[in-house]
Amino acid sequence: MKTLGHWIGNKPVESTSGTFGPVYNPATGAQPTQVSLASVEEVDAAVAAARAAYPEWSQSSLAKRTAFLFKYRELLDARRDEIAELITAEHGKVHSDALGEVARGMEILELACGIPEKLKGELSTQVSTRVDVASIRQAVGVVAGITPFNFPAMVPMWMFPLAIACGNTFVLKPSEKDPSAAYRLAELAAEAGLPEGVLNVVNGDKVAVDRLLAHPDVAAVSFVGSTPIARYIQAEATANGKRVQALGGAKNHMMVLPDADLDHAADNAINAAYGSAGERCMAVSVVVAVGGIADELVAKIAERAGALRIGPGDDPASEMGPLITREHRDKVASYVSGAAAQGAEVVVDGTGFSVEGHENGFFLGVSLLDKVRPGMAAYDDEIFGPVLCVVRAETYDEGLVLINSSKWGNGTAIFTRDGGAARRFQLEVEAGMVGVNVPIPVPVGYHSFGGWKQSLFGDLHIYGNDGVQFYTRGKVVTTRWPDPADSAGINLGFPSNH
């Protein structure tokens, strides 16, 4: 069995903790890898490497940083398939989906390549006689990133390229369920010429997380994961004086108005609900059918759901792969049976699904639940699996109240041909990311990603301009270079602007 350790100071480091976590192939249920779970001392070693690298890296020129970033992008571009294969082997998503993940992560790397434009300061000249004032932004220090299992390459790339472009050094703690893609990203960074200690990967569980949150040399923490853990990350990190951006969970609603193209809406509901087996924080998990369209829309979604091809992620014929673990699959399945007991109509039941030849894999068919209401567990909880709920609303206003009553506010969408209704929705809905006839409105790299309410803890979203602001801190420099002939002598009065 392969053992994956840590990456510290541009080299692999074998763990001495003696504790390991299983890394499964979700399509087969086999365990080809175990990952080392770091001790406090091993986390400290990674932070120490980042701390030692910080002075020189933070003072390096923008030209040097961008030269590395461009070379790194070239390497990753050539290794897209390799990284996607690692994702499929440990996460289970189909290869095309894994390739898409790599591509979206590389958008942020490409944004980082343009960091000189983002770090341009502001200058006001002659604010007073021969006095100039400049506002600049500088790196914050050692930054930690704690990332989830569902995007083992993309979410780390949401963080470290921008952080190191801004002059920080980085310690990444990826999910212990599928750590190999993040580890490979760090290896390739070293190959591209990143100095040792600038990017480190320490694998681990809560022991590693808690040490990063408490470590006095860690200045900032980025996190993407569930809402309970995001709340915990923010509380612990801020108590220790760190800046935090912590993105939590979601229950994303897709409102379909009576004038919408129902075939288009059904196609997009399928794509957004069941892609990546529903293990996306931006997945659509609730369709709000407005007016009298529900029966027809549900029938169209059910017809498409029955035709989906589910199988191993490395099979080109597969459209959806397995879930990440057996335990998670069973938990997701329990919501389907529970919904029936609570009065929902199970239109499509995927709980008895298996793949011939892969009976030990963590597969689950897609499920469609109709006539779901708030108060049912399938509606109230973030299921994080291939289960789509349909809620019926008589009017737009009723649907809007339903969406805005959610404790989450990550993403939402409206499907309509009515521009006025769409404009109302984008202004009135309480969510951080809104799609108009776009079911998964994940922003491009130069706009920031993040939700509202219990989907975000901290003030700043991730990547884009918010990411640059998070990974830097402002400084204002006031400068006077007086002409020696103008010396006015001593004056103890308060300086005025003349």
Place of tokens 């959610």: 406
Instruction: Give pLDDT tens digits for 220-265.
Output: 999 999 999 999 999 999 999 999 999 999 999 999 999 999 999 9
Query: Residue 488: its pLDDT value, please?
Result: 64
The Cα angle at residue 263 between residues 259 and 268, in degrees rounded to 5:
100
DSSP code for 121: -
Beta bridge partners, 146, equal: 173, 223
Residue 10 per-residue DSSP state: S
List the Cα angle 379/383/387 in 5-degree steps: 80
Q: Which residues of the chain are modeled with pLDDT < 50?
A: none
Number of H helices, E strands in the chain: 16, 23
Radius of gyration of the chain (CA): 25
- pLDDT at position 209 is 98
DSSP SS3 for 434 = strand
148, 155 Cβ separation under 8 angstroms: yes
* Global pTM value: 0.95
Q: Would you call 235 helix, strand, or coil by DSSP?
A: helix
* Token pair of 486 as six digits: 């103008």
Give the integer Cα–Cα distance in Å for 47 and 211.
10
The CA distances from residue 318 to 94, 309, 453, in Å, are 7, 5, 36
Q: Which positions are catalytic? A: 281
- Bridge partners for 171 per DSSP: 144, 200
Runs of H (alpha helix) within 126-196: 154-165, 180-191
- The rounded Cα 465 to chain-centroid distance in angstroms is 16
Q: Which helix (H) or strand (E) holds 212?
A: helix 206-214
Give the contacts of 143 (CB within 8 A, at least 6 positions apart).
159, 160, 163, 168, 169, 170, 171, 218, 219, 220, 221, 222, 471
SS3 186: helix
Average pLDDT across the chain, whole number: 96
Residue 194's pLDDT is: 98
Q: Distance between CA atoms of 203 and 43, rounded to whole angstroms?
A: 9
